[in-house]
Structure 1
């Protein structure tokens, strides 16, 4: 529940009497839209909570230091740099609205506690906006002079305190107690939603792919006997004529040598009809193992993701969510500096169920390209930038690379290269058989023939769902 104008007025009334003059010591994020500011007043520490959460926008003191911190955002770093060690000169409510201003020496913080429309603004000289916390729709932009919303609530002009104002920080402490469990559950649920979203998308893609493979398998299974039929047609070739829609012949594969009726395409010649049966036979022989292998990979991947989903949905601790998003590293031993040594290339599973290997070093790039791959496998590398070799293991008989697999493999090649900072770029790809190692060339150096290129864009959530072994 967001604080009302009246409640904000009570909070500011208490804070202005008790914390003005306190020095800002630390700033850290509690969630994407929640912050805690540590203030020092004499030898005493105070913790001010600021939230622009869509459902729990508020500002009040906390009873204790927060036990959870997130990686500092750009805005958090800017705010800390601008106001660190500076005294809080003034805290006031702007236009009797849900807006609070905290003035420091040389900077100010504007907190619009307006739910989904709220934001934090760091102001510099002349109240020009230096940084904005979240990319929400607003008429205020960096570099411009901050102006509060033009239409405050109709009753904002005359704020009345419904309860008797008590000395000290009693109302702040009341809010800290009221919001404690509410905020914890809100942050937990939002973390769950964020963690579950890509996993559910992956499950949906996997289910769709499995359905397509099942359909393809059923179609191919209709041709399980086509090689025998082709052999029978070949044995009765002289009886075949163009224009026939079927032929009856002895099935010499049958123990009782019964007659069998074989359907023909009247528009095809005898040789073409025989070739048609052999062609479908090859498709069946190569396609069924490929499909079964891909289905196995998809089912294994689906099971892993489903277990993650179940764990995330059932947990009551945000730490469990963070751990569930990390796979366990394949550890061997610890180096001299205490760093874990990893064995083997990074491994990923694409949405289509194919394994992708990503080299960790020049030597490993050579290993996955020339020792752990076949000529039919797909090879990728960020164009014109140093980076990892990526090899996607492809089954026999696959004539066309699935578009999703190509896009995801290209994303991996870009992500593990010097071009990753740009977030997007061009990736070279070809079959491994089109790669060769120049004589005397250093590790990782190859020559590519017949290469093509594709544009890739990095999506960290997609990479997380593909990852089956921690590599960082």
Structure 2
């Protein structure tokens, strides 16, 4: 089911159970349209994600790691002023709509207590997050400023009075549950139930209406069946459905989906993490890495074109001896060439006196044409060494940018900034001179094998460099997919079990260009045997004496071992 009013009802129930009464200890804005409140209750920290993303708007308790920007945005600074240290008093859904209000008591400039409301509207591209003063409904700040010429229905700017979005005046099923089905059963045929539910009752998506319609067709007391179905949203059973073609769907309750496989979760937040960890993270990476992708593609295109030209030059150089022969023949028989001729046939004494047709410049005589061929011959012969040197550099650049492409495909948002820093340091991106802060490199991803051994995975070259070349124990085992771009993987053990070695190899294969392949070769050896050539790119190492293990990547294993 999509995030409709019914699902929002279940979310609010979960919030009231877990975080109401907790203290807001931290406020972060890791992404442009998303806020994370860290709420501490009963000695447990609950990171609460409030997203006004146009596609993935939602509210949830999340455990997906995030990386904060070095400079906090203005909106989060404003929120910190009012929210940090405050107690979350209550969480309320606006009727059965996709609007949630988070209430706190805060102190104003004079020290007086005032009620502040954080309102999240989850309305697709119209989603927004407001900080509102409750006593006069004044908008103190909001995450998306919308000028009047873009929204004439209500003002969405700081200082304006907060008003709800246009109301549809449908019936709230939770306020009128006893009378929910009477008119539908008495006045309408079964075929009209789905449409009637959606148009009459508030907060029903098409999927929710279809589920209720199915419940009503069961035998027994239809009214009781409907009320039991509705009340189940007060006691959610978070369920993730996977169809035969791999498509994911989620629901707050376990409605009948016989064609799907099911996975149950303890909380709605855990289920949403499992559902969004791929989709939302990919979207965030695409947003942050858009300019990087263009730069990398341009560099690949430029170097690929350069390589073709270099290879063409080498092909010409292989024909350099033919140019020398033509020059020798022309300088031997210059009298056979007259101005105005475009070619001349000369007996080739290098080839049993067979006639050789030599193209000539009609503006030059025989000696000048011979000199022209000799000059071209000398130029090509001199260029061979230079071209081979440039070809090696170009091939290295192509391999490097193919590695960057591979890293961007599996990058999380925190990895993107590392890649941006690397490209800036390498001179591929112009440095921002205004930013004087020292860049911070994110930490590698951590995993734990089934026997408890820690495994670290570098997701970009800067992480790989630090992970592989600055480890305190050179006896740890290093792994990398063979002859393909991929992550550096470190097992924090000098004698890992076969099971841990196999799991680490599968991680190395998954975080590489071979993630969709089978029977992938992965090299492994102690960290101490790695060497970094002088002047090489970040993350580039050479080694010998490795052993090889063959594995098939498993996406499920990645999520199971992640810590």
1:177 to 247, 264, 270: 270
Contact 1:102 1:108 in 2 (8 A): yes
* 1:244/1:67 CA distance change after superposition, 3 Å: closer
SS in 2 for 1:7: helix
* 1:159/1:287 CA distance change after superposition, 3 Å: same
The yes-or-no answer on 1:118 pairing with 2:127 is yes
* 1:468/1:118 CA distance change after superposition, 3 Å: farther
Contact 1:213 1:295 in 2 (8 A): yes
Give runs of aligned pairs for residues 456-471 of structure 1, distance below 5 A. 468-469=537-538
Contact 1:91 1:102 in 2 (8 A): yes
Contact 1:347 1:468 in 2 (8 A): no
Map of 1:68 onto structure 2? 65
* 1:220/1:109 CA distance change after superposition, 3 Å: farther
Q: Residues of 2 paired with 1:112 and 1:55: CA distance?
A: 13
Give runs of aligned pairs for residues 199-348 of structure 1, distance below 5 A. 199=296, 202-215=299-312, 217-218=314-315, 225-249=322-346, 251=348, 254=350, 260-268=356-364, 273-274=369-370, 276-278=372-374, 280-281=376-377, 283-307=379-403, 309=405, 318=412, 325=419, 348=426
Map of 1:164 onto structure 2? 231
How far residue 226 of structure 1 moved from its aligned partner, in angstroms, is 2.7
Contact 1:122 1:129 in 2 (8 A): yes
How far residue 98 of structure 1 moved from its aligned partner, in angstroms, is 2.2
Contact 1:129 1:141 in 2 (8 A): no
How far residue 87 of structure 1 moved from its aligned partner, in angstroms, is 3.2
Unpaired stretches in structure 2, ≥5 consecutive residues = 109-115, 173-200, 204-226, 239-251, 253-265, 438-535, 540-563
* 1:469/1:320 CA distance change after superposition, 3 Å: same
* 1:143/1:321 CA distance change after superposition, 3 Å: closer
Q: Residues of 2 paired with 1:33 and 1:166: CA distance?
A: 28
Q: Could you give the per-residue CA deviations for residues 288-307 of structure 1, whole angstroms, max 9, x where no partner exists?
A: 44443333222223334445
SS in 2 for 1:303: helix
* 1:132/1:220 CA distance change after superposition, 3 Å: farther
Contact 1:249 1:259 in 2 (8 A): yes
The yes-or-no answer on 1:26 pairing with 2:26 is yes
* 1:259/1:146 CA distance change after superposition, 3 Å: farther
Map of 2:160 onto structure 1? 145
SS in 2 for 1:164: helix
2:118 to 105, 109, 112: 109
How far residue 7 of structure 1 moved from its aligned partner, in angstroms, is 2.0
Q: Residues of 2 paired with 1:163 and 1:81: CA distance?
A: 40
SS in 2 for 1:130: strand
* 1:53/1:128 CA distance change after superposition, 3 Å: closer
Contact 1:109 1:120 in 2 (8 A): yes
How far residue 256 of structure 1 moved from its aligned partner, in angstroms, is 5.3
Contact 1:5 1:156 in 2 (8 A): no
For the aligned residue pairs, the C-alpha RMSD in angstroms reads 5.0
Contact 2:320 2:380 in 1 (8 A): yes
The yes-or-no answer on 1:127 pairing with 2:138 is yes
Q: Residues of 1 paired with 2:146 and 2:132: CA distance?
A: 16
Q: TM-score, normalised by structure 2?
A: 0.47
* 1:255/1:40 CA distance change after superposition, 3 Å: closer
Q: Could you give the per-residue CA deviations for residues 185-231 of structure 1, whole angstroms, max 9, x where no partner exists?
A: 33554467566945566545543443454455546656663344334
Aligned pair count?
341
Q: Residues of 1 paired with 2:338 and 2:364: CA distance?
A: 9
